[in-house]
Amino acid sequence: MIARLSALTSILVWILTFAAPARPQAVRDVRLSVEEAIAVALERNLGLAADRFTPLLAYDQSRADWGQFDPTLSLGYSYTEHDIPESPGQRFRISQAVSFGLEQRDMTGDFSTGLSGLLTPGTRYGVFWDTNRYDTNYFSYFPDSSVEQYNSSLRLELSQPFLKNRGRLINTLRIQQAERAAQESFYAWSERVADVALAAERAYWELVYAERNVAIAGLSLEVAKDLLRNIEAGYRVEMRAKVEVLEAEAQVELRRELLLTARNQRDDAEDALKRLLNWFEGDYLDFVRLVPSSSPEMPLRPLDVEKSFATARARRGVLWAAREAITQASLEQLFARNQLLPDLSLASWISYTGLAPEGKDSIPNLGGLPSFPDRDVSDAWDLMSSGEYYDWSIGLFFTYPLGNRTARVRRDMADKQRAQAEILLADAEQQVLLDVRSRIRQIMTDRQRIESASTAVVLEAERLRISRKSHELGLITSHDVMEVLDDYSSALVRELRAQIDARISFAQLLRVEGTYLAVHNVTLESPFPELPLTGSGEFRAPGPLGPGWIFPRKN
């Protein structure tokens, strides 16, 4: 019985724990300024985190290309053995009666080492040392005896081109192009950073618009409720008709619906901002409510198309990337013209040799044959280092492909690539100029919209006050008051929309000028500080590569 009660108790606890509906988690408000939103977007954006490796990969390619100038060390050892059968008459004979051996055995051991490489002027060099031990019984007097021989040599090689592929500039040109490609990739990445920051700011201001639109809808609902209360009070003293009460109630419900719609739009705007900020709390986004704290009022600033365009030409990453493309095309032209030249090269080498034979079990003066003194490998080294025995060579070699069509076509391609890069730069500058002019015109239009909308708000507010007073005196109906209330709400929304559009237009102007990141205190560090970036502003931030490349500027 006790066991059954215990089981029932466990089941009841399980039901209360897991089957009962979960209590909703409390929503936490987080106040966020526009600068904080931009910083969070840049810090948490996964696309930027992945794209930042592109300049590093391009730079690593240039570092890898420097490896062609690293010296190469070679080591080797080989051992070879030959057993060759022989006829009795083939062997050297001591006398007419004696013939030795039925086979020949040769054993060779060879050790070699060397150091070779390429220098930036195009010079190829090599230092090679070889030691060889040769052991054979072919020249011995008896079949069980042998003759050993040590041979050591030191060889120096040097070659230098005089026309084609001559010079540090030509031989490091591919490295320079890779470095330029890394810089170009960094400028493109900086443009991507600015785009992400601008998208975050735009989403932030859209949230501000939705937030204040909720407040406007709530204000309209409260005014409608207050008007309904006045009408109901008049109806109770028989000063208002029933139909007027019903119309006021309908208007209240209509504005409640508008408020619900505004709240839903506010939630959509918040989710859009959270998506750009990659703002996740646990498995849901609803546990944090972002509350914007920045005001949409646009800062006052004089507008000058020429000054803004000059700033954009000096700071826009897209223009610096286009200039880097021209530089790369110029380098390609230089290389292509060098390849048109014939190949005239100097090749030289010198070799020092030392030889040390050693006789074993030889029979001195047998049959008048000479004997070999006992020597070892050190004797060969000493003889080699003495420089007594050497050979050398030096020569000039000329080669030229008749027609040379490959080099000519590549030169033409390089010229076309240079012309294409110059046209793309001119097109990019024209587009930047058009963007600057468009943004300045839009800001001027938005300022005028703000002035007109602000005047309309003041007039509509006064009109609403007069309408409510007239309604209290019975001069107009509640329908007339509701129409005036709608006009007042619309004026507030238009003023708010103009303010938001002006702030977004101002941010877009900063973006096309190339000053957007600097204005928002965001600095990009160079991923390769040893390379001098040719840009300015935030592109020239010194220092080693940080964990995220992005950090708030210290004021």
pLDDT score of 174: 87
Q: What share of the chain is helix, strand, coil (3-state, %, to 5)?
A: 55, 20, 25
CB–CB of 240/477 below 8 Å? no
Count Cα atoms within 13 angstroms, Cβ side, for 27. 8
Tens of pLDDT, residue by residue over 413-460, are 999 999 999 999 999 999 999 999 999 999 999 999 999 999 999 998
Buried b / exposed e over 528-546, threshold 16 CB at 10 Å, is beeeebebebbbebeeeee
pLDDT score of 223: 84
**Overall average pLDDT of the 363-389 stretch:** 59
**Overall average pLDDT of the 494-521 stretch:** 91
Map out the domains of the chain with their CATH numbers.
32-61+173-332+409-552 (1.20.1600.10), 78-118+123-164+343-399 (no CATH)
Helix (H, G, I), strand (E, B) or coil at 340: coil
Taking CA atoms, 256 is separated from 212, 247, 309, in Å, by 16, 14, 49
210 pLDDT more than 80: yes
Tens of pLDDT, residue by residue over 337-353, are 999 999 999 999 888 87
Tens of pLDDT, residue by residue over 22-73, are 444 567 888 889 998 998 888 888 888 888 888 888 888 888 888 899 999 9
More confident residue, 549 or 63: 63
Computed over every residue of the chain, the mean pLDDT equals 79
| C-alpha to C-alpha distance for 414 and 333, rounded to whole angstroms | 5
Tens of pLDDT, residue by residue over 91-134, are 444 443 344 444 667 788 888 999 999 999 999 999 998 888 87
pLDDT score of 283: 46
pLDDT score of 451: 92
537 pLDDT more than 70: no
pLDDT score of 3: 45
Tens of pLDDT, residue by residue over 74-84, are 999 998 887 77
CB–CB of 539/514 below 8 Å? no
Residue 194 Rama label (left phi>0; alpha psi -120 to 50; beta)? alpha
